[in-house]
Chain A
């Protein structure tokens, strides 16, 4: 790509953010839309690509960093949040974006989600929620619906699906949204605002797996989703946001809200961390011999 990048002065808005690697997803996979929407969101913000780190876990969706020309870490299944948190804590100047799947973030890694939310760490977390384990070829996920027939639940799932939006709100996330791969423009806007938001932002994306999930298809979602922005929802109310997060299940999955559920302003983690008041950790000087000797004096 022949982008012109002037470090420190902001990227050109036309920066493509595309690397030489193509996405590995099946044709029609919802994750292609997420790549497009994230690209558009980054273009809309205009951060230099070297200051962006995309951190993923393991899963089809976690292949997201590769087609981007930014920095990236493709980490372990379920561990993208702690890795991303570490990156952000070490260098607060970076824009850190997490990308992963529903198994990754709501199954094996769900503990980290709650803690990232309550810390209000300033990262943006995009979960490609296809209600299935794609990469492992189609087992049930924590968001698979009751009764869903998958390779691991051939007689239908007997477990209730998780409510990630509600969990994120209750855990203290300060920006909680839901998007749909069938509407990448809407998604790009939600992602962009999530990145601009100072604090923990999560965007749960209905991103259909066209290969292993023949229940939650594009059409299935299209028939059911509606936009909160058009429904007069007040995203500043935690109460209302929690109510909306319950709507899908309460309506027997006939009405599923997408859009911005909740947004509030709270000090981001870095604003409260003592050490970060002196700037990004990586820019802080190494200790002098004298400083080490001074500390040793405590033990005399």
Chain B
């Protein structure tokens, strides 16, 4: 496998993000594999932002270790990125703006290009300097300039010939600049791919599942889901920006009670506000999907950085005991798939389903060949529209599988009141006048057991609640969600060094099938790899199976793991095993 990592750096407002998106599009359209990730801060102007785009000839699992080509739009780009430059890295910069004397000239290839002058001469627009630099970078990577031109025509065609030509001219100047030559020559396979981030894939998954209602209060890194729904409002979905996250989840419960497939989304802080509503959905047995895209906590934490530290929180959030499902997608394509399925699970088991994203999963872009659109089925579960039995409808009928029939308002003869107080099969409260009578104690016992029985039914009827054995080996990495990708990359690195390491990864974490999980883990040499400081998945595993994982690689510095980082850690642990 060959790959190259390009990092575009500058300040907020320099067009770093749009430049990154452009390179990703060009590569994905040309049969190359791409993985993009953005580093930014919680300010709107200034600061130091970067976009790393890794381009390869086969599937990529992370944005790569170090920088092979740096586009330095300002002096900070050199100062802050120095330590990330790989040996022989190519540094593209404008000598009138950026000084490179602090870099060791024997280790790097300097490519000074008067980006600004060229941009102004070619188009009159200083922001075109990025495009000049991109042209040069494409040449170094070995991507044909026609590919760039085609993407530009697609993107800016509507804006008129002049915009298209300016871009094409500026890129050509960089591409053909004296001394710029192909250094990598990574060849694509001719297949056009989608370039998607996790939140986009999740949103499309929800759309495909017939999710009609999405409520949210803006919060990084979940806001782009709200924006996705908002920009697709003309496609038959209803986005609602609410006054707070409490309103978001309660509106979602209202919409779901009325029969719409409904979802809300936020990050940890907003999820904290949603907690009471989560229990309401559990008690009313209302199917809702809740997205928590984790960022570095606690509290406001690092709003633009990633972490996987909300697992135990979302598993246990809200008072009392009620059934719920927790799933953390393992890739961008997976974000589509598990979201589409989340709505079926919610409807089948009439309970909240929590999708645990994180900033890295929400925001990094992958090239994806296909999404499982054909495999999406819509199963609304036990819904009735007519009272066939006669008599008063028992919305909360006690059943063997714990699931009762559900009716939407509007259906004559099925009227009922759903109550957050404990209730009987009709929905009538047992809390007020009758609590504590023998009869009520019996009802309470049965209703609580009925609800919790749904967890057993899930485990019995669904195949998804077992971890994936992605690879076998003498040792096994155990991980979950977004860390699966860099873990897979680590396996390749270790393999190339003659180490055979396996991987067991979790996406559906709750409910956990104790027996199957235990059978899978028992007797293996396990190493827990998680992006948090306390090994939360390992705790869940021990709680469910009694198996303790003694060795771990944990980090909570705000940055995602790279494959190399995990591989080094594993090699170290194995050495001293």
A residues contacting B by CB (< 8 A) are 5, 7, 19-21, 24, 48-55, 58, 63, 65-66, 68-76, 79, 81-91, 93-94, 111-112, 114-115, 273-276, 278, 281-282, 284-287, 289, 291-293, 295-296, 299-300
B471 adjacent to chain A (CB < 8 Å): no
B382-411 interface with A by 8 A CB criterion: 392, 408-411
Instruction: Pick the contact of A86: B258, B411, B414, B419 (CB < 8 A).
Output: B258
> Cβ of B392 and Cβ of A87 under 8 Å apart?
no
B145 adjacent to chain A (CB < 8 Å): no
Contacts of B378 in A (CB 8 A): 286
> Cβ of A65 and Cβ of B213 under 8 Å apart?
no
B residues contacting A by CB (< 8 A) are 28-29, 192-196, 200, 204, 207-208, 210, 212-213, 215, 232-238, 240, 242-244, 246-248, 250-260, 262, 276-277, 280, 284, 371, 373-374, 376, 378, 392, 408-421, 428-429, 432-433
Instruction: Pick the contact of B371: A49, A53, A115, A296 (CB < 8 A).
Output: A296
> Cβ of A71 and Cβ of B409 under 8 Å apart?
yes
> Cβ of A112 and Cβ of B247 under 8 Å apart?
yes
A7 and B247 CA atoms in complex are apart in Å by 32
Instruction: Pick the contact of B247: A48, A63, A82 (CB < 8 A).
Output: A82
Instruction: Pick the contact of A82: B193, B196, B234, B242 (CB < 8 A).
Output: B242
> Cβ of B195 and Cβ of A299 under 8 Å apart?
yes
Instruction: Pick the contact of A287: B234, B236, B255, B408 (CB < 8 A).
Output: B236
Closest 9 CB pairs of A and B: A86-B254, A72-B417, A82-B250, A86-B251, A90-B258, A286-B210, A90-B255, A90-B260, A71-B409
> Cβ of B409 and Cβ of A53 under 8 Å apart?
yes
Instruction: Pick the contact of B258: A68, A82, A94 (CB < 8 A).
Output: A94
> Cβ of A79 and Cβ of B238 under 8 Å apart?
no
Contacts of B248 in A (CB 8 A): 82
Contacts of B255 in A (CB 8 A): 86-87, 89-90, 281
Distance in angstroms from B433 CB to nearest chain A CB is 6
> Cβ of A281 and Cβ of B260 under 8 Å apart?
yes
A55 and B257 CA atoms in complex are apart in Å by 11
> Cβ of A91 and Cβ of B258 under 8 Å apart?
yes
Instruction: Pick the contact of A83: B254, B410, B429 (CB < 8 A).
Output: B254
> Cβ of A300 and Cβ of B429 under 8 Å apart?
no
> Cβ of A83 and Cβ of B251 under 8 Å apart?
yes
> Cβ of A300 and Cβ of B194 under 8 Å apart?
yes
Instruction: Pick the contact of B280: A52, A75, A88, A300 (CB < 8 A).
Output: A75
Contacts of B414 in A (CB 8 A): 50
Q: A24-B432, A73-B284, A74-B420 are in contact. Are A274 and B409 (CB under 8 A)?
A: no
Q: A87-B255, A89-B251, A93-B410 are in contact. Are A295 and B235 (CB under 8 A)?
A: yes
Instruction: Pick the contact of B207: A52, A54, A287, A299 (CB < 8 A).
Output: A287
Contacts of B429 in A (CB 8 A): 63, 66, 74
User: Can you list 5 pairs linking A and B with CB atoms under 8 Å apart?
Assistant: A71-B409, A83-B254, A86-B255, A274-B233, A287-B208
Instruction: Pick the contact of B232: A89, A93, A286, A295 (CB < 8 A).
Output: A295
> Cβ of A72 and Cβ of B410 under 8 Å apart?
no
Contacts of B419 in A (CB 8 A): 66, 73-74
Q: A70-B415, A74-B418 are in contact. Are A82 and B246 (CB under 8 A)?
A: yes
> Cβ of A289 and Cβ of B409 under 8 Å apart?
no
> Cβ of B428 and Cβ of A83 under 8 Å apart?
no
A287 and B235 CA atoms in complex are apart in Å by 9
> Cβ of A21 and Cβ of B428 under 8 Å apart?
yes
